[in-house]
């Protein structure tokens, strides 16, 4: 297969972690007979330096012409970098918002997976996480409260603020369909999260999810209220496979889920539209504090590349091979500094960014 991949290395540790993800993709290409053609795309601070804007129209066109985009991270130190003295619409993050909008990326996927070897970083009791957990949070990204009409006004001398939460049936149906499709690639269970005991938008959400579920007889589904879901995530996280939810609930629940996995350097993510296209990136930022030191953890970016193989190219065996190589490297005791155990390091070897990429490549089967 020939795959055209747009590559946004970005700022800070971005270029370092992207180099390792490309190494792994190339190794997959060699082993499984695929060709990955990369097109570099400038976004964020590096684009501001070159073109005075965080994302040019040419860069958007290059992303659109790709089958998928792999991204490192963008932005700098928000206190000291001159990029943050620019008006908001010219700052690095504005580039990412423009890209998401231009590509209509409405579905955000964030897995939360507990590695046996990193259990110590999980704040939950051992009896709760015994046997691990492996869930995928699918969050609607372009609707709901964050995009509804809002205003602050004085009514009868009292300052009053209003935000509106709007979803139409089409917006719900397209994300629900995506959620059930993802479940088919996993353990075939969807937990749809809403607040249907209070909100009209949630009652519509529930109705459309039920209609969508009828097209997926192999997937079991349940509804769960968001307050209960927040509790269940820390009480019994292994019950979840795919959590399907709207924008703000997903924002909060995905951070809660990532917190119980341990390190930010291990968490990939994907943003998808209604084609096979996706934008794949680690959940962390550009980590300016460690940029250029060769110590950043490249695993989240490598796992993002695995998601790209799985969701944009349907290369499930290849994605499984990357996931397995990451598990093996941890089992063999290799760690970047951010995931070094706090309590003694017997049988554990600390490695840098590039060495970690090499060790993962060696374990690709």
- Report, in Å, the least distance between residue 358 CB and ligand NAD: 17
CA angle 76, 80, 85 (to 5 degrees): 85
Stretch that binds ligand NAD, among 69-77, 231-239, 240-248, 250-258 (CB under 6 A): 69-77
When the beta carbons of 212 and 297 are compared against ligand NAD, the nearer one is: 297
* Catalytically active residues, by annotation: 146, 195, 227, 251, 255
Interacting residues with ligand NAD between 106 and 145 (CB under 6 A): none
**Nearest approach, Cβ of residue 49 and ligand NAD (Å):** 14
Instruction: Return the residues of window 8-67 that contact ligand NAD according to CB under 6 A.
Output: 13, 17
Task: Please say whether the beta carbons of 270 and 313 come within 8 A.
Answer: no
287 lies in the site for ligand NAD, by CB under 6 A: yes
- Return the number of the residue (241 or 281) whose C-beta is nearest ligand NAD: 281
By CB under 6 A, tell whether 6 contacts ligand NAD. Answer: no
The least CB distance from residue 29 to ligand NAD, in Å, is 24
Q: How far is the CB of 249 from ligand NAD (least distance, A)?
A: 20
Q: Is 286 near ligand NAD (CB under 6 A)?
A: yes
Binding mask 328-347 for ligand NAD (x = CB under 6 A): ----------x---------
88 lines the binding site for ligand NAD (CB under 6 A): no
Size, binding site for ligand NAD by CB under 6 A:
23
Binder among 264, 324, 348, 359 for ligand NAD (CB under 6 A): 264
Interaction between residue 79 and ligand NAD (CB under 6 A): no
Select the residue interacting with ligand NAD from 41, 257, 296, 326 (CB under 6 A): 296
Q: At how many degrees (to 10) do helices 316-331 and 14-32 cross?
A: 120
Phi, psi of 148 (to 5 degrees): -80, 165
How far apart (Å, rounded) are the C-alpha atoms in residues 113 and 260?
Answer: 9
Q: Footprint of ligand NAD on this chain (CB under 6 A)? A: 13, 17, 73-76, 78, 93, 96, 264-265, 281, 284-290, 296-297, 300, 338
């Amino acid at each position: 297969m020939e795959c055209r991949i747009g590559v946004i290395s970005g700022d800070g540790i971005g270029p370092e972690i992207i180099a390792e993800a490309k190494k792994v993709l190339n190794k997959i290409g060699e082993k499984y007979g695929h060709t990955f053609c990369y097109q570099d795309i400038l976004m964020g601070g590096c684009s501001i330096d070159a073109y005075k804007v965080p994302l040019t129209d040419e860069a958007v066109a290059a992303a659109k012409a790709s089958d998928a985009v792999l991204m490192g991270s963008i932005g700098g130190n928000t206190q000291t970098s001159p990029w943050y003295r620019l008006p908001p619409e010219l700052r690095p993050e504005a580039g990412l918002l423009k890209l998401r909008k231009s590509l209509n990326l409405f579905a955000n996927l964030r897995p939360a997976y507990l590695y046996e070897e990193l259990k110590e970083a999980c704040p939950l009791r051992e009896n709760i996480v015994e046997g691990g957990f492996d869930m995928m949070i699918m969050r609607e990204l372009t609707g709901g409260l964050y995009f509804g009409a809002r205003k602050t006004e004085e009514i009868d001398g009292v300052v009053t603020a209003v935000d509106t939460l709007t979803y139409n049936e089409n917006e719900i149906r397209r994300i629900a369909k995506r959620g059930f499709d993802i479940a088919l690639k996993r353990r075939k269970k969807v937990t749809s999260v809403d607040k249907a005991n209070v909100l009209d938008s949630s009652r519509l959400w529930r109705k459309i999810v039920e209609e969508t579920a009828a097209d997926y007889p192999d997937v079991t589904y349940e509804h769960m209220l968001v307050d209960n879901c927040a509790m269940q995530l820390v009480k019994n996280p292994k019950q979840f496979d795919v959590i399907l939810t709207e924008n703000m609930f997903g924002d909060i629940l995905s951070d809660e889920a990532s917190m119980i996995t341990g390190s930010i350097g291990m968490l990939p993510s994907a943003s998808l539209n209604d084609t096979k296209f996706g934008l794949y990136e680690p959940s962390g930022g550009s980590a300016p504090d460690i940029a250029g030191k060769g110590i950043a953890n490249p695993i989240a970016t490598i796992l993002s590349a695995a998601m790209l193989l799985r969701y944009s190219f349907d290369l499930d065996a290849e994605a499984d091979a990357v996931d397995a190589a990451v598990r093996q490297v941890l089992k063999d005791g290799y760690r970047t500094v951010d995931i070094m155990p706090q309590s003694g390091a017997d049988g554990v070897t600390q490695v840098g960014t590039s060495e970690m990429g090499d060790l993962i490549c060696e374990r690709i089967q």
